[in-house]
Structure 1
Amino acid sequence: MAVCGDKELLVSLLSGSATSDGLSRRFLGVHFDSRRLTEGNLFIALKGKRSGEEFLPSAFGNGASLALVHRKIANDKALLDSFEFKDRVVAVDDTLEAFWKLSKWWRDQISARLIAVTGSLGKTTTKRILAALLSPIGKGGFSEGSFNNHIGVPYTLCSLAEDDMWGVLEVGMNHKGEIARLADLIKPDVGIITGIAPVHMEFFSSLKEVADAKCELLGGISKGGVGAVLNDNPELKEAALKAVPETVTLKWFGTREGSTVRLVDSQSCGLDGYIHKIEICGKTMPFKTRLLGSHNGINVAAALMGVISAFPSVDLTALRDSLLSVMPEKGRLNPLVLPNGALVLDDSYNSSPEALKESLRILGELGEGRKTVAVLGDMLELGDKSEQMHKEIGKWLCQHPYAGYLLTFGTHSKAISKEFKPSLHVDTIEELYNALLEEGFEIALVKGSRGMRLDRVVSMLRDDL
C-alpha cells in the first residue's frame, strides 16, 4: 500500500490549514497529474505552465480524495466558498515543498531496501535490469519512465508500499547540488553511479565537475550502506574516493581488475540480444539479455552489484532468467522489422557522443554485408562544445565506417555530414524521410536527442512501408 493517511495528518505534518470538517477523510497514494490519479489519491496541485489548482475539478472528478493547494489560493474565500470540494482541500505555503515533506515522512515509514541509480549513461536501463533481477526476491517498486527529478523522486518514494522489500529510484540532474538534495531525501541503502560522459554539459565546464556532481549521491547513502561505482573511469574513481563518507563502503564494478563485479566478455546473439560473462567475487557466470549492444554488459554488472549489496545472501543463479523479461524500450535501440523486411534500429529517445558511437557500432555489427544508413539528429545539451563534439563524431565515423550512408538533420549535426561522406544534410523531417526512402536501406539507425523528435521518422517508416 502506497503512502496513506488522512486530512488531519496532512494538516499537522505539513503545517497545513483546512476546514474542520472531514478531518478523518483518508487518502491512499498521490499524484500530481489529474488525468492519471486513481480513486482515493491525494492530488498535489503543483505549479507548472498553469496553476495546479486549475485542475482541481478534474482531479476530484477522477476520484481524488483530498488535495494539497497553495495557501494563497485557499485564502481566496470567495473562490473556496463557491468550490464544491472545499472541505477536501488542505492549504500549504508551497505544494512542492509539502510534497517533499510528505515523501520524507513516508521514507521513514517503509522498510524496503532502497537502491538509487545515477550516471551520465545507462541509469534507466540499469534501473529496469535491477527491478527485473529483484522481482523474484519479493515485492517492490521502481521509478516510472524517467521520473528522476525533484518531482519524480518524491512521487516514487510515495508510491512504495510499507511491506515492499525493495525500491529502485533513478536520480537525474542538470545542475550541481541537485543529486545531493535528492540523495538526502531518498537515504538509499545502496547508491550506484553507472559512469560519466559529456551529457547535459551546458551547466558544467568539465567532466571532473560532472563526476563531482554524480558523486553527491554517495553523501546521502544511509549509514552502513554501499556505494557502487564504475571502476573504468579515473576521474569518476577519484571523485568517488573523495566524496564517500566513512560510514559508507565503496565497491567497484566494471571491466578492470579489482572490481567486485567485473564484465569479462560480451557475445552478440544478433537481434536476440547478448550473453555477458560476468565475474562476481571471483566466480564467472553468463547472463543473457534481450538488449542490443555490448555496453549493456556494464549495466548488467551495475545492477548485479546493486543486488548483492542490498541482499548479500541472494542466489544469483535463481535470478538470471528474470533478465529475459527486460525488453528494448521504444526509442532505446529498439529493433523494428518493417513489412518490406528492412530493419530500423529506433534509438530516437536520446543521444550523446559515447552513446552514439555505441549505436553506430551496433549498426555496423548487424549490418555487415548489408546496405546501412545512419539517420542522425543533433546531440543537444552539450554546451559550448557542441559544434566540436559533432565534428569529432564525423571524424570518428570516417575512421570507423559503420554506416554506408549518412543522413543528418538539425543545426549541429551538419558538422557530422561535413566530415563523413557519402552523406546528405536536410532541413525538415519530410526531406529526411524522403531522402531515406530514395537512398533505400536494409538496416537504418535512427538516433538523436529527444528534442529533435526523430521518432516521427520511425513512425512514418512503420506506417508507410
Structure 2
Amino acid sequence: MKELHALFLEHPTISTDTRKITENCLFFALKGPNFNGNAFAQEALNKGAAYAIIDQEEFKTSDRLLLVDDVLATLQQLSTYHRNHSKAKVISLTGSNGKTTTKELINAVISKKYKTIATKGNLNNHIGVPLTLLSIKEDTEMAIVEMGANHKKEIESLCSIAQPDFGYITNFGKAHLEGFGSIEGVIQGKSELYDYLKANDKYIFLNADDDVQKEKLSTYTKKMGFSTSDHQYYNIKFSGVHPYVSLEVEGTQIHTQLVGKYNFPNCCAAILMGKYFNVPLEDIKSAIEVYQPQNNRSQILSKNGFDIVLDAYNANPTSMKAALENFSLMKSKRKTLIIGDMFELGNTAAEEHQAIADFAKELDFDDAYLVGENFYGTNTTLKKLKSFDELKEHLLKNPLEKGALLIKGSRGMALERALDLL
C-alpha cells in the first residue's frame, strides 16, 4: 500500500471509466454486474493512463498493469491510507433526507476559513467515498464526506474507510425501506455513524429538536447541538418561508435562497459547524445567503408564466410529505402538483403511496397529477397516469394553467422532463 500510495502521489488523478481517462491518471478496473473493468485496462493505458490496477492475471500484459487481489478493496484501502497520510480532518454526514444540500452548505461555510474538499454531487457510496478521500490535497484542512446507505452495515463500512473525526445525521425518514425493512431499521442503519464516533471518542453535531437524536446522545459528552427552544444547546430561530427560508442567530437575520421549512435544519447544521470551527458569523451569513441549490433539488424556476419548485432529484414518503406541506403554504393564486412514484419502498410501497395521495387530496391543490405505476394503483379522485409518456400525452392535449407548480418524484421518474411540456 505504501508503494501504491507513492505512485498515487505522482499520479493523483483516479479514473474508473475509460470514457473519462485523463493523461497520467491511475485507472482502477472495477467490476459490476454488467461490466468487467479488467477488460478495459489496456484501453485505459492506450488513452493515456499511467498505470491500471487489475485483479485478473490473464489481463496482465505489461508492467504498467498492476495486479492486486481485489481492485475495489484496494481502492478503499488506498483511500484510507491517503486519508491518514494527510492532515485533513474528516466531517462525515448521513441521513434520510437533505444530505447533499447540507453537505454543500457546510462546505460553503467552512471554506470561508479553511481549505476544504467535499463529496462531488452525491458520490456517497462504497466507491464515491474512497474517491472523495483521494481528492484530499496536501493543503486540505477539512474534508466533508457524504455517506449514503440503503441497508444496514453500509454506514459502518463507510466509517471504517473514512474514519471521520466529526459526524452529523440530518434525520431519520422513510427512505430505502426495502433495504432497511422499517423506520426502526433506518434509525439503526444511519446511527452506525454515531456508533463509530462514540466508540472512537470523536465529536458529534446534532439536531437537538430531533427527539431520536437527542435521546441517542443523551449521555454522550463530546457533542454540540442546535435547537429552536432548548437553551442547553445553540439556539437558532426560524423566521419563516417568504418563499425562502429565513432564520435568526445571535440577533443576526439570515435570508437564504432555499425553499421549504425542511431546509431550516440543513442551514442550522452548517451554522453550528461554522460556530464550532470559529468561522466569523458575518462569513457564515454570507456563505448561506449566496448558496443556491442545483441539480433539481428544491430549485425555484420561472418559465412561461409558471413559478416552479423543481424537486425532482429524489423522493421518499418523508421528503414528499414535507414538500407538499411547504408547497401548500406558498402564496399563489393557482397551485398545480406533478408528483411521481417513490422507489425502494419494498412491501410498504402501496401503503405509502396511498398515504401521499390522501395527503395531497387533503391539501386541496387546484390541480394534481400522480404519475407512475404505484400512484396509479392508489384509490383517489386525483388524476392518475401510469407513466411519464401518459402525462406528456395528456398535457399536450390539456395544457396546464399558469401559476405555481411543484414537480417532485424519485430519480428514476426523471420528472424534470415535465418542464419541456409547459
- Using structure 2 for the length normalisation, give the TM-score: 0.91
**Distance in structure 2 (CA, Å) of the matches to 1:62 and 1:137:** 39
Aligned to 1:277: 248
Of the candidates 87, 96, 107, which is equivalent to residue 120 of structure 1? 96
Counterpart residue number, 1:54: 39
Match of 1:454 among 411, 415, 421: 415
Q: Does 1:230 align with 2:230?
A: no
Kindly provide the amino acid, as one letter, of the partner of residue 392 in structure 2. Y
Query: What residue is the counterpart of 1:389 in the other structure?
Result: 352
What is the one-letter code of the residue matched to 1:376? I
Number of the residue aligned with 1:20: none
**Counterpart check, 1:64 vs 2:25:** no
Give how far 1:252 is off. 2.5
The 3 A distance-change label for structure 1 pair 24 and 451 is closer
Does the alignment pair 1:190 with 2:166?
yes
Q: CA–CA distance in 2 between the matches of 1:38 and 1:256?
A: 52
Map of 1:359 onto structure 2: 323
Matched residues in 2 for 1:354 and 1:227: separation? 24
Aligned counterparts of 2:217 and 2:149: Cα–Cα separation in 1: 17
Q: How far did 1:433 drift?
A: 2.2
Determine the structure 2 residue equivalent to 1:141.
117
Q: Which residue of 2 aligns with 1:18?
A: none
CA deviation after TM superposition for structure 1 residue 224, in Å? 5.1
Mapped to 2, the partners of 1:330 and 1:104 lie a distance apart of 29
Rg bigger for which structure?
1
Instruction: Please point out which of 424, 427, 431 is paired with 2:386.
Output: 427
Matched, 1:346 2:310: yes
Please list the CA deviations of residues 268-325 of structure 1 after superposition, one character each: whole Å capped at 9, or x if unmatched.
333xx332224xxxx343222211112111001112223334x1x3322223212233
- Cα–Cα, structure 1 residues 210 and 284, in superposed 2: closer, same or farther, change >3 Å? farther
Partner of 2:238: 265
- Equivalent residues in 2 for 1:197-276 (5 A)? 197-221=173-197, 223=200, 225-241=202-218, 249-258=222-231, 260-270=233-243, 273-276=244-247
Alpha-carbon separation, structure 1, partners of 2:342 and 2:295: 18
Aligned to 2:17: 33
CA distance in 2, matches of 1:24, 1:397: 52
CA distance in structure 2 between the partners assigned to 1:293 and 1:210 by the alignment: 23
The C-alpha deviation readout for 1:67-101, integer Å capped at 9, x for no partner, is 1111x2xx32xx544xxxx2211110100010111
* Displacement of 1:58: 4.0
In structure 2, which of residues 314, 326, 332 is the aligned counterpart of residue 368 of structure 1? 332
Cα distance in 2, alignment partners of residues 40 and 259 from structure 1: 53
Q: Is contact 1:375-1:447 (8 Å) kept?
A: yes
CA shift, 1:254, in A, is 4.1
**1:130 partner letter:** I
1:404: which partner in 2? 366
- Whichever residue aligns with residue 414 of structure 1, its letter is Y
Cα deviation for residue 335 of structure 1 reads: 2.2
The residue that corresponds to 2:284 in the other structure is: 319
Matching residue's letter, 1:227 = I
Residue 66 of structure 1, CA deviation: 1.2
Count how many residue pairs are aligned between Structure 1 and Structure 2.
418
Q: Which amino acid aligns with 1:440?
A: L
8 Å CA contact 2:109, 2:283 repeated in 1: no
The answer for the alignment partner of 2:400 in structure 1 is 440
Q: Separation in 2 of the partners of 1:122 and 1:96?
A: 28
How far off is 1:415 after superposition? Answer: 5.0
Q: Secondary structure of the residue that 1:172 maps to in structure 2?
A: coil
Preserved CA contact (<8 Å) 1:433 1:457: yes
**In 2, are the aligned partners of 1:31 and 1:155 still within 8 Å (CA)?**
no
- State the one-letter code of the partner of 2:324: L
Given candidates 297, 301, 307, the residue that maps to 1:332 is 297
Q: CA deviation at 1:136?
A: 1.4
Displacement after TM superposition at 1:256 (Å): 4.4
Q: Name the SS of the counterpart of 1:124 in structure 2.
A: helix
Q: Tell me the amino acid that sits aligned with residue 332 of structure 1.
A: R
| CA pair 37-167 structure 1, distance change in 2 beyond 3 A | farther
| Structure 2: runs of 5+ lacking an equivalent | none
Which of 343, 347, 368 matches 1:380? 343
The Cα of 1:384 is off from its aligned counterpart by 1.5
CA distance in 2 between counterparts of 1:357 and 1:30 reads 40
Gapped regions of structure 1 (runs ≥ 5): 15-22
Distance 1:257-1:284 versus aligned 2 partners, 3 A rule: farther
Task: Please report the RMSD computed on the Cα atoms of aligned residues, expressed in angstroms.
Answer: 2.5
Percent identity of paired positions between Structure 1 and Structure 2: 30
Deviations 1:46-77 (A, max 9, x none): 0012111232244234432111111x2xx32x
Partner letter of residue 375 of structure 2? S
When residues 60 and 275 of structure 1 are mapped into structure 2, their CA distance, relative to the original with a 3 A threshold, is: same
Distance 1:254 1:381, change over 3 A: farther
| Structure 1 counterpart SS, 2:223 | strand
Distance (Å, rounded) in 2 between the aligned partners of 1:113 and 1:52 = 32
- Report the 3-state secondary structure (helix = DSSP H, G, I; strand = E; otherwise coil) of the residue aligned with 1:111: coil
Contact 1:261–1:304 (Cα < 8 Å) also in 2: no
Aligned residue identity for 2:400: G
In the alignment, is the contact (CA less than 8 A) between 1:375 and 1:444 conserved in 2? yes
How far apart, in 2, do the equivalents of 1:254 and 1:434 lie? 48
TM-score normalised to structure 1 length: 0.83
* Higher deviation after alignment, 256-265 or 105-114: 256-265
Question: Which deviates the most, 118-127 or 327-336?
Answer: 327-336
Stretch of structure 1 that moved more, 125-134 or 325-334: 325-334
Query: 2:336 aligns to what SS in structure 1?
Result: strand
Distance in 1 separating the partners of 2:14 and 2:314: 29
